[in-house]
Amino acid sequence: MILTPHDRLFVLTGAGISAESGLATFRGSGGLWNGYRVDQVATPEAWHADPELVWRFYSMRRRDALAAQPNAAHLALAKIEHKLANNFYLCTQNVDDLHERAGSLRVHHMHGSVFQSRCVQCRVPFPDQGVYETAAELPMCPECGEAVRPHIVWFGEIPLDMDGIYRELEQATRLLVVGTSGSVYPAAGFVHVASQRGIHTVYVGPEEPSNADAFDEIILGPATTVLPGLL
Ligand code: BJW
Ligand code: ZN
């Protein structure tokens, strides 16, 4: 992808960019957790029915994310941001912090962060690396005594700062999408917004996403192989 000094790059990443850091994707092989699909644990309904189950899932995710290291694809994006500075915006669906640990600064986590929690009543997110695996350990808000939940966007909830995301999409001259199955909205629709504006859209990953038809260019391959040579 040849970028000129006038380009403004919008990057969307998904679970696939962290796959080579050892973090499981949602829909690939190994995408199940203890036999549960993501839509059985990442929903407000699951939280209401069994908060202990949900906290066990996110406790495991915290452990896995802490143990993982950024890979060559995260580093390649940090490097291009260094060149483009304010003409770069990275929107990730991932809740891990591997982009930040690779050196990316302008990162927006549209589905929240695994290292933040919030009280269901007070709603203010705060940093939290705790693991809660039994009913007795479930965290409660020290201010109001209500339950504390992961600061994660579950199915049926509105992703964070959609206005900011669409503002960035409106200004972008290129869209690069990496490692997402294109099956979860609204992220899967960003390519349609971009192509309606006539800007060039590229997908990188080992297989075609569900929304492949909407892209101008598909580059098949693992992110760590493709991205360092692409940018
Ligand atoms: C590699 C690789 C390598 C492997 N290199 N690549 C019917 C139609 C349309 C929409 C809906 C509908 N019914 C319901 C909806 C809405 C719903 C939705 O989209 N559901 C679909 C399942 C149909 N969406 C929502 O509810 C969202 N909210 C919403 O729509 O609110 C309304 C609203 C929006 C906007 C404005 C106003 C109102 C919320 C979605 C929340 C998603 N949450 C989750 C879990 C929480 C986070 C967490 O625990 O981590 O987010 S679900 C899960 O899926 C997670 C991910 O971020 C998300 C996307 O997954 P991703 O990243 O694509 O992973 P995979 O596993 O699917 O794909 C991995 C890819 O990597 C594969 O393609 C591999 O090939 C590739 N790969 N190795 C590069 N080495
Ligand atoms: Zn509270």
Give me the chain's average pLDDT, please: 95
Element (H, E) at 4: none
User: With 80 as the cut, is the pLDDT of residue 223 above it?
Assistant: yes
- What is the mean predicted confidence (pLDDT) over 168-192? 98
Give 139's Cβ-side CA count (13 Å radius): 22
User: With 80 as the cut, is the pLDDT of residue 137 above it?
Assistant: yes
pLDDT at 119: 98
Residues lining ion ligand 2 (Cβ < 5 A) are: 119, 121-122, 141, 143-144, 146
Among all residues, which ones are annotated catalytic? 111
Q: Rounded to an integer, what distance in angstroms lies between the CA atom of residue 176 and that of residue 219?
A: 11
pLDDT at 194: 98
Q: What is the pLDDT of residues 64-77, one digit of tens each?
A: 999 999 999 999 99
When pLDDT is cut at 50, 70 and 90, the band that residue 167 belongs to is very high
pLDDT at 30: 67
Beta carbons within 10 angstroms of residue 190's beta carbon? 26
pLDDT at 5: 77
Nearest atom (ligand 1) to Cα of 180: 63
Nearest atom (ligand 1) to Cα of 179: 6
Element (H, E) at 90: strand 88-92
pLDDT at 64: 95
- What is the mean predicted confidence (pLDDT) over 178-193? 98
User: With 90 as the cut, is the pLDDT of residue 1 above it?
Assistant: no
Nearest CA to ligand 1 atom 15: 185
The closest alpha carbon to 83, from 65, 100, 106, belongs to: 106
| Residues of the chain above pLDDT 70, percent | 99
Q: What is the pLDDT of residues 60-118, one digit of tens each?
A: 999 999 999 999 999 999 999 999 999 999 999 999 999 999 999 999 999 999 999 99
- State if residue 181 touches ligand 1 by the CB under 6 angstroms criterion: yes
pLDDT at 31: 72
* CA 128 to ligand 1 centroid distance, Å: 23
- State if residue 165 touches ligand 1 by the CB under 6 angstroms criterion: no
- State if residue 155 touches ligand 1 by the CB under 6 angstroms criterion: yes
User: Which-ligand-closest: CA of 117?
Assistant: 2
- What is the mean predicted confidence (pLDDT) over 41-48? 95
Specify burial of residue 5 (Cβ count, 10 A radius: 0-12, 13-18, 19+): exposed
pTM: 0.97
| Residues of the chain above pLDDT 90, percent | 90
Nearest atom (ligand 1) to Cα of 31: 66
User: With 90 as the cut, is the pLDDT of residue 32 above it?
Assistant: no
Residue 133, CA distances (Å) to 51, 153, 163, 196 in order: 10, 21, 36, 46
- What is the mean predicted confidence (pLDDT) over 123-140? 97
